[in-house]
Structure 1
Amino acid sequence: MKRLAVALGMAALFMAVHAAARSFTLAQAVDFALTHNSMARLAKARGAAAQAELRLARDQGLPEAGVSYGYLFSNNPLEALSAELERRQVSAAAFTPNTLNHPGITKLGTTTLSLSWPLYTGGAIHEALRAGRYGRKAAQGAARRIRQSIMAQVIQSYEGVLVAREALAVAHKAVVAARRHARTARYLYARGRIVRSDALSADVNLGANEGMLAEARGNVRIAMDNLATAMGAPAGLAITVPRVPLRVVPVPHHDLAAFYRQALTDRPDIKSLRAEIAAMRARAKAARDRSSFQVRLTAQSQWFSEIPNLRHNAWTVGAVISKSLYDGHRNRDRADVLEQRVAELEARLAGLRARIRNHVARAFDNMRTAMTQYRIANANVVRARQAVAVTQVRYGEGRTILLSLLNAEHGLVQAREARLTALYALAANRAALAAACGSLSRRTLASLGIAS
């Protein structure tokens, strides 16, 4: 019964783990990351903040309305006479010397409804609106760039999982062959047909391949962890990747200059920084415009009584024209600060252009190098297989020693690993090149030729 309970518990645990696991294709992994990755959430929050700033700029041109109620107790003669006038209850008796000098305690409630509307601000509100629109555009460009970075990271991590699994399969085959050779060597040594050094070499080869297998298993776990991190997967979600064949990612036929032009035109961070510069210029102009003439419409309606009601109404409508003559140079200095920030952003833009050229050139060169390495490694795999086949025949005929066969098989394993490394470099740098050029998006994912 105890064994049955343990078995049932292990089965339940196995089913729970696999029930929580979820398989992702590359496209599904990208979609998941664009929603759950922390940087994607940050980009969304920045976009919302930029939209709120634009609404704030629009609100500056809207009228302000307010209502208030106040109640006054006073024995001030002037307040007493004013209260009688406001309540429209003035009589001849109110102007006698005794009443004017000793009015008693006056009680007055005042309900006020006010309206204020900026009609002209010297262009400050207009420039604030321009700054808000450019700020929103800058946030949108930054968000697109973050999404491209997330996509490139997911693609590279996903391809890393596929390559790590293929490397694990290569290592497993190598261990199977090494175990077979070790058993054969022990058998032959026990019968005196080979020397002890050959048997020891077979055991050493087995140990080396078992170490490679353990490392390959660890690499698969690391690759899966990297993918989960890139996707922003929660801790309770187990991720699996379907088995798809590794593809040879094609190298684009465009020259490097064409990629440069595309990057400087399409990169979202370039567009974002240009919009940020325009927004900063608009803010600087708005700061200077606040020292210009200001025109504001005002309106007010009041109700006066000892108890709150809407009797005895008085209203006032007018316009106010104002101009700041001296504010301690605050507006001027604020504009100077913003214009210096414009200069800083322009310097950043020049630096960004240089970095983009470097990113494009590096990804382009790395991809071409990876393709060359793949062709060499693929040819080496063919030659290594032929070498293993020839050596196996010679070893079976007793014309060579076991060490030669072990070396030939080790060469085949190395050639396969080099080919896998080149395949990963091709896919990773293809994604990096698309991201560097600003062309990486959910719609262009399939056109990259990477497993999807």
Structure 2
Amino acid sequence: MRTSSHFSIALVWALLAALSASPARAQSGPLTLADAMREADQRAFGNRIAAANTASDRARARLPLKGILPSARIEAGVVRTTDPIGAFGTTLRQRLVTPAAFQPATLNYPSAVTNAQGGLVLDVPLLNGDAWLGLRAARAAADASKAAGEWASVSIRADVVRAYYGAILAEDKAGVLAQAQQAADAGVRQVRAMVAQGLVTKADALQAGVRASDVAAQLLGARSDALSARQQLALLLGRTGAELPTLPGTLPDDAAVIALAAHDSAAASAIASGAEPRDDVRAAQAGVLAASADRRRAASTLLPRVNGFARYDWNDPRTLYAGQKNWTVGVMASWSLFGGNAELADVAVTSARANAARAGLDAARAQSQLERDDAARHLTVAMQRLILAREAADQSREAHRLVQKRYDGGLATIAELLAAEASATGAALAQAAARYAVIDAIATWRRASGGDPAALTALDSSTTTAR
């Protein structure tokens, strides 16, 4: 039964190893956080979507120029008609009218007339208030989209920090448990030898076996979690298929993490409430400008419009752009007095949207302040917890060493030794988790305060060992 259990565990480990060894992207060394940031900036799905949306809104901002800039077009067409007015007018345009054309029979029952007409047309907007205000609204909307895209990039960078160091933490946890399993297996062998010599009881051997099985089970879960974490990181970076990254072997050391946290904690204390707004707040501000301009655009549709035009035409019985030429220049004013209530409805809709945009800006500012304050407190707490976890880990390792020494001298029981081993392993895992929590708190603070989470690339120098 024991042999079957060990075979099953070995099989699961082999499957996990095969998955983690699947074809991956060619990589000369472990992926640094700086490399991950650059890759995410270029390839992350969220960044690519945001960039496409920004480009679309920037292009859409040029649409109102149709009501502002002159436009020119070329016209060409061929018409054949027996309509009395059309036939006489065509003959007149072609400069072919003769006295016979005024005969009543000819006027009433004209022969079919063909006209090849060519023209050059220039439209010149002179006064279109809705177009100018629409342009302002569209440009403000493009600015909002750009700021939203920058906020998405900052958020993705914070997510990259969490996923990158989360994957390293998962690998680190698996490494700690692998060492614990080696120690547990060695302890099982030692206790069994001591049972054979009559130095300890069979119960001691059973307790050691239970401890070894527990560590083995934890190690299985840790290795599976580590593989999943690497896959999640690859997905966040925009990789597809089996392009799993190779990561450093351990998290940055406590000193580097605490130093960076202390720097940001001091900055958090110095930042005033009037600090530079975050990108999401800037997006909301631009959204208010866009909504306000759009409301004024809707109101301007109730005002008159003035547009000019110029035409240059050719009319010939057979050939386009041939025959006699003529030109026409004009100015047209129009004023829509009633359009089925559509204009007033547009004003009401855009006014409501402007009110919603202002409420959204107030919410964004309040949310920004809340997140900044919460992140500052969380950073301080996480830093203190890491200091306590480091002290606890040092004490647990020393306690395990002392219990091991007492056990070797026959002064401690196997239960005490196993408890000390479990405590030391748990403390080591808690220290790693506390270290990651500080890194997460720094990334969260950077994002919440409108900073750049890429500042954590400074920790790359203390994560150089590949696993």
TM-score with structure 1 length normalisation? 0.90
Shift of residue 256 of structure 1? 5.2
For residues 298-347 of structure 1, the C-alpha deviation after alignment (integer angstroms, 9 at most, x for no partner) is: 11122111102421111111111121222223222202211101111222
Match of 2:247 in 1: 241
Match of 2:209 in 1: 203
Shift of residue 117 of structure 1? 1.4
Query: CA separation of 1:411/1:311 partners in 2, compared to 1, >3 Å: closer, same or farther?
Result: same
Q: Which runs of 5+ in 1 are unaligned?
A: 1-12
Match of 1:140 in 2: 146
Aligned 8 A contact 1:247 1:449 in 2:
no
Shift of residue 359 of structure 1? 2.2
Secondary structure at the counterpart of residue 273 of structure 2: helix
1:312-323 matched pairs, under 5 angstroms: 312-323=324-335
- Stretch deviating more after TM superposition (87-96 or 176-185): 87-96
Q: Which runs of 5+ in 2 are unaligned?
A: 1-17
Structure 1 residue identity aligned to 2:213: G
Q: Does 1:193 align with 2:199?
A: yes
Aligned 8 A contact 1:111 1:308 in 2:
no
Aligned 8 A contact 1:430 1:448 in 2:
no
Shift of residue 81 of structure 1? 2.8
Match of 1:354 in 2: 366
Shift of residue 450 of structure 1? 8.9
Secondary structure at the counterpart of residue 173 of structure 2: helix
Shift of residue 431 of structure 1? 0.3
Q: Pick the aligned partner of 1:222 from 222, 228, 235.
A: 228
TM-score with structure 2 length normalisation? 0.87
Q: Does 1:408 align with 2:415?
A: no
Q: Pick the aligned partner of 1:437 from 444, 449, 460.
A: 449
Distance between the aligned counterparts of 1:448 and 1:125, measured in 2?
A: 52
Match of 1:88 in 2: 95
Distance between the aligned counterparts of 1:360 and 1:197, measured in 2?
A: 55
Q: Pick the aligned partner of 1:48 from 38, 42, 55.
A: 55
Q: Pick the aligned partner of 1:75 from 45, 70, 82.
A: 82
Structure 2 residue identity aligned to 1:394: R
Match of 2:303 in 1: 292
Match of 2:12 in 1: none
Query: CA separation of 1:448/1:117 partners in 2, compared to 1, >3 Å: closer, same or farther?
Result: farther
For residues 173-224 of structure 1, the C-alpha deviation after alignment (integer angstroms, 9 at most, x for no partner) is: 1111111111111111112111222111111111111122212212211221
Aligned 8 A contact 2:22 2:242 in 1:
no
Aligned 8 A contact 1:298 1:318 in 2:
yes
- Stretch deviating more after TM superposition (334-343 or 388-397): 388-397
Match of 1:7 in 2: none
Structure 2 residue identity aligned to 1:117: V
Match of 1:182 in 2: 188
Secondary structure at the counterpart of residue 306 of structure 2: strand
Aligned 8 A contact 2:24 2:245 in 1:
no
Secondary structure at the counterpart of residue 298 of structure 1: strand
Query: CA separation of 1:199/1:169 partners in 2, compared to 1, >3 Å: closer, same or farther?
Result: same
For residues 428-452 of structure 1, the C-alpha deviation after alignment (integer angstroms, 9 at most, x for no partner) is: 111011011111154x344578967
Match of 2:352 in 1: 340
Structure 1 residue identity aligned to 2:294: R
Aligned 8 A contact 1:137 1:272 in 2:
yes
For residues 362-421 of structure 1, the C-alpha deviation after alignment (integer angstroms, 9 at most, x for no partner) is: 322222222222111111122112212221222222222222122112111111111011
Match of 1:8 in 2: none
Distance between the aligned counterparts of 1:182 and 1:103, measured in 2?
A: 116
Note the aligned Cα RMSD (angstroms).
2.4
Structure 1 residue identity aligned to 2:149: A
Distance between the aligned counterparts of 2:272 and 2:372, measured in 1?
A: 7
For residues 348-372 of structure 1, the C-alpha deviation after alignment (integer angstroms, 9 at most, x for no partner) is: 2222223223322332222222222
Q: Pick the aligned partner of 1:114 from 116, 121, 130.
A: 121
Structure 2 residue identity aligned to 1:182: V
- Stretch deviating more after TM superposition (173-182 or 344-353): 344-353
Query: CA separation of 1:391/1:445 partners in 2, compared to 1, >3 Å: closer, same or farther?
Result: closer
Structure 1 residue identity aligned to 2:153: R
Query: CA separation of 1:406/1:115 partners in 2, compared to 1, >3 Å: closer, same or farther?
Result: same
- Stretch deviating more after TM superposition (308-317 or 416-425): 308-317
Aligned 8 A contact 1:145 1:269 in 2:
yes
Distance between the aligned counterparts of 2:332 and 2:308, measured in 1?
A: 6
Q: Does 1:422 align with 2:434?
A: yes
Query: CA separation of 1:150/1:451 partners in 2, compared to 1, >3 Å: closer, same or farther?
Result: farther
Aligned 8 A contact 1:162 1:246 in 2:
no
Query: CA separation of 1:19/1:126 partners in 2, compared to 1, >3 Å: closer, same or farther?
Result: closer
